[in-house]
Amino acid sequence: MDFTVLTLFPELVDSFFKHGMISRGIDKRLITGHCINIRDFSTDRHKTVDDRPYGGGSGMIMKLEPLQAAIYCAKKNAPDSKVVLMTPQGNTFSQEKALELAFGNKGLIFVCGRYEGIDERVYTKLVDEEISIGDYVMTGGELASMVIIDSIARLIPGVLGSLESPESDSFTNDRLEYAQYTRPEEFEGEKVPDVLLSGNHEKIRLWRKRSSLERTFLKRPDLFKKNRPDAEEKKILNEWCRELESFAGE
């Protein structure tokens, strides 16, 4: 998977490509990470990339031509890539979208805006998809692109270390991840559940499933609407209900 970020602040994203899981993925040649400075494609003497909005109003708008040239350059280097514009007005990013982007594309080109935004014709002529990372407005698209690259890269087989796995992560199959513990066995009177020390794999699997269901029910019940409980999950939830009823009746 090739990640290319078009930005006016490449140093922000360059350092992200040089650390942690992303840099290990690059070293293993499972992903690539490049930045393109949009300003390099400005053709005037002052390297201008923004201009005043037609119709008046506050702030500056990113000009069309340098962005177009930067996108064409990125596409030349990674021809099968999808062009994704970072904008608070786009489709909201999610784990589902991360999976779709990770396995549906050879590469992704992220266009990061700054100032008041981008000339409308970039949206209509040069971009395949608009994505937002949430209903709030940031100063630039760089953080948004890094959020998205991080969550996609960890899904690509081999990028995470052999001891880590995205399979039980929250939002996979629309459930939250089960409770996790490590040493010490007891902390300020709170003990690690006995079953996790039992070595019985089937009991541990069932305990984790129940923990995941309980957490999803308590913290994000909306996820059950997206993916209804299967037969085993229903059985576990019914058991839990019976326990709660008998507890309430005591």
- Interface residue list for ligand SAM (CB under 6 A): 86-89, 112-114, 116-118, 132-134, 136-141, 144
CB 85 within 8 A of CB 111: yes
Residue with nearest beta carbon to ligand SAM: 113
The distance in angstroms from the start CA to the end CA of the chain is 57
The least distance separating ligand SAM from the CB of residue 56, rounded to whole angstroms, comes to 15
The least distance separating ligand SAM from the CB of residue 142, rounded to whole angstroms, comes to 8
Which residue's CB is nearer to ligand SAM, number 10 or number 175?
Answer: 10
Tell me how far apart the alpha carbons of residues 207 and 221 are, in angstroms, rounded to a whole number: 19
The three-state secondary structure class of 64 is: helix
The least distance separating ligand SAM from the CB of residue 73, rounded to whole angstroms, comes to 19
Strand 129-132 and strand 81-92: the pairing is: parallel
Tokens representing 145 are: 């692109």
The least distance separating ligand SAM from the CB of residue 123, rounded to whole angstroms, comes to 10
The least distance separating ligand SAM from the CB of residue 117, rounded to whole angstroms, comes to 4
Which residue's CB is nearer to ligand SAM, number 22 or number 61?
Answer: 61
Which residue's CB is nearer to ligand SAM, number 119 or number 233?
Answer: 119
Which residue's CB is nearer to ligand SAM, number 143 or number 160?
Answer: 143
Which phi and psi angles does 118 have, rounded to 5°? Answer: -125, 145
Which residue's CB is nearer to ligand SAM, number 53 or number 229?
Answer: 53
Tokens representing 120 are: 């409308």
Which residue, chain included where needed, has tokens 């290319």? 4
Residues with a known catalytic role: 88, 116, 154, 169
